[in-house]
Amino acid sequence: MGGYTGKVLRINLTEGKISTEPLNKELAKNYISGRGLAGKMFADEVPADVDALSPENKLFIASGALTGTNAPTSGRYMVVTKSPLNGVIASSNSGGQWGAHLKFAGYDMVILEGKAARPVYISISDDSVEIKDAAHVWGKDVYATTDILKQEFGDDKVKVLSIGPAGEKLSLISAVMNDLYRAAGRSGVGAVMGSKNVKAVLVRGTGKVENANADEMKNVLSATMAKLKENGVTGQGLPTYGTAVLVNIINESGIYPVNNFQESYDPDADLISGETMTANHLIKKDPCYRCPIACGRYSKWKGGEGAGPEYETVWVFGSNSGIHDFDAIHKANDLCNKYGLDTISVGATIAAGMELVQKGYIKQEELDGTPLEFGNADGMVEWVRKIAFAEGLGAKMALGSYRLAEIYGAPELSMSVKKLELPAYDPRGVQGQGLQFATSNRGGCHVRGYLISPEVIGMPEKLDRTVIEGKATWVKIFQDLTAVIDSLGLCLFSSFALGLSDYRALVNAVTGFNYTDEELLACGERIWNNERLHNLKVGYTAAEDTLPKRLLNDPIPEGPSKGQTIRLAELLPQYYIERGWSATGVPTPERLSSLGM
């Protein structure tokens, strides 16, 4: 069995016990690896009712089946745990180099259990695994922690994954960071690591990941690499402009949220577009492991330089906060990386705070002199810092936008689904993506099914974004295929150029599993249903398959999509039928049985 190392590293922090165990191959065939397999193991091992920040929660840091192979974009790993933000299975996905190096060290995943008595870090050097004291780096930011621990390890090739002060302070919107700038960002996974008193996990691997069928892999590689190169998005658009090229596309479509989703078109968006960033700020590309796309940016601003910013980050600290100052957006992005925060949730929480101030819910005296208003760039940057250190009102904001707005009696001002902040697309003008937001197992998220690809960009084919016909089918297929891509450890961006058959060819050449297309997609459906069953166990119902009131009830007020509304009440029943679920969104025994669940 190629691709997999066949070994799981389990660390009980309470007892200080380190052990390895064989990977369950039968389970791996059905749930692949990463998000799928770790999600299934999580659901089997961790009772649904545990407190996410208690020692009883477990943190799985899992590679995908193809992570660390020579497959294109195979640098991804996932942090799978119970989310402290909304209680569902978090599977926060990150690129960079760390995930591949976990495989080189000989492990498919690391499971952290219990809670260390004092701050520690984990040091993995092939077979040698140690739990080490982290008192000297506790409280330090991600950049300093990375430097200090790298020096201590004594080998520059070591890869560092860590939390920042935000995770230590149990912020519900904190991230797990790796390779300095890469984030397993969403769902508050940094706080789970912080709750276990684990500051960092270092990995140095000298091994290699084998392919089951090396000759076949040569052919599959050349075919998939050619497709990635020839595709306009993966071969030209993303390499040239990075993800922020979306600013103008989404804005010109009139589905670009402004001022906490109060408007959906920004006449000044080009000031902060990918085109502007490329012309004025880009220093170099910053690709992940074995990625021919290289969308990652390394850029400069007044007084500094660093990674990013990505489209979502540009939007959330930019137009969604009424800001067109690229230097401020860069600074806010850099602080999130440094302190270990999710840029989407942080920016959206600040924007919600701005609206709470605008509408008089938050009083000026609570702000300690730091402006919290749309368009105030300096204030916005300072609020990022205050969230990281839970200072003043920043302590409430560190809980995310839903809890912040709820504290002030206005939860409807949180632009979130299942308490997870929505990304940069107004669902009222893009019906399939709207349905996907409402039904995404982890809440307001675009990377559980990126319907923007067919509905706006036109890949793999162009769909009319304003109609609902056929969209439930598209959403189900996209959600299931995305679960497969995640679990393979490949980047979702590869799917602009590659389809199900390409992924099947890759995984079969690497693992020798010999899936058919149908069998591979069924793995995705199994993964989706596993997550849904967990959602139901923790108390979510069909009532939470919804959108914020503003987006559900009001039409888009201005711009190119003026007057458009989301037809969710019509889409949801179609979606449940498509999934083989009951009318109340519960997977039926028949469908589960057909999936072997």
Partner 1 sequence: MRVTVKLFATFREGRFKVEEKDLPDSSRVIDVLLPLNITPEEVAICLVNGRDVNEQHVLNDGDTIALFPPVGGG
The binding site for partner 1 (CB under 8 A) comprises: 231-233, 236-238, 240-246, 248-249, 252-254, 270, 273-275, 295, 310-312, 446-447, 450, 452-453, 456-459, 462, 464-465, 492-493, 496, 559-561
Q: How many CB atoms lie within 10 A of CB 529?
A: 21
**Nearer of residues 66 and 245 to partner 1, judged by Cβ:** 245
Q: How many CB atoms lie within 10 A of CB 221?
A: 18
**Which residues, in sequence order, are bridge partners of residue 128?**
125
**Nearer of residues 256 and 289 to partner 1, judged by Cβ:** 256
**Nearer of residues 197 and 264 to partner 1, judged by Cβ:** 264
Distance (Å) of CA 465 to CA 19, 180, 252, 435, 461: 51, 37, 14, 12, 12
CA distance 228 to 240: 14
Report the DSSP pairing between strands 304-307 and 416-417: unpaired
DSSP 412: G
Q: Tokens 């402009």 — which residue? A: 241
**Nearer of residues 409 and 458 to partner 1, judged by Cβ:** 458
Judge contact between 369 and 320, C-beta under 8 A.
Answer: no
Judge contact between 89 and 43, C-beta under 8 A.
Answer: yes
**Which residues, in sequence order, are bridge partners of residue 111?**
10, 60
Report the DSSP pairing between strands 198-204 and 120-125: parallel
**Nearer of residues 293 and 351 to partner 1, judged by Cβ:** 293
Instruction: In angstroms, give the least distance from the CB of 425 to partner 1.
Output: 10
Q: Print the SS3 string covering 272-339.
A: HCHHHHHHHCEEEECCCCCCCCCCCEEEEECCEEEECCCHHHHHHHCHHHCCCCHHHHHHHHHHHHHH
Alpha-helix runs per DSSP H in 412-566: 431-439, 452, 471-488, 500-511, 517-537, 549-553
**Nearer of residues 377 and 492 to partner 1, judged by Cβ:** 492
**Nearer of residues 232 and 555 to partner 1, judged by Cβ:** 232
**Which residues, in sequence order, are bridge partners of residue 417?**
420
**Nearer of residues 113 and 263 to partner 1, judged by Cβ:** 263
Instruction: In angstroms, give the least distance from the CB of 282 to partner 1.
Output: 14
Judge contact between 475 and 453, C-beta under 8 A.
Answer: no
CA distance 201 to 296: 23
**Nearer of residues 2 and 443 to partner 1, judged by Cβ:** 443
Q: Tokens 């089997």 — which residue? A: 44
CA distance 565 to 229: 37
Judge contact between 533 and 237, C-beta under 8 A.
Answer: no
Count, residues in the chain: 597
Q: How many CB atoms lie within 10 A of CB 68?
A: 30
**Nearer of residues 213 and 240 to partner 1, judged by Cβ:** 240
Instruction: In angstroms, give the least distance from the CB of 297 to partner 1.
Output: 11
Which amino acid type is present at position 503? Answer: Y
**Nearer of residues 374 and 425 to partner 1, judged by Cβ:** 425
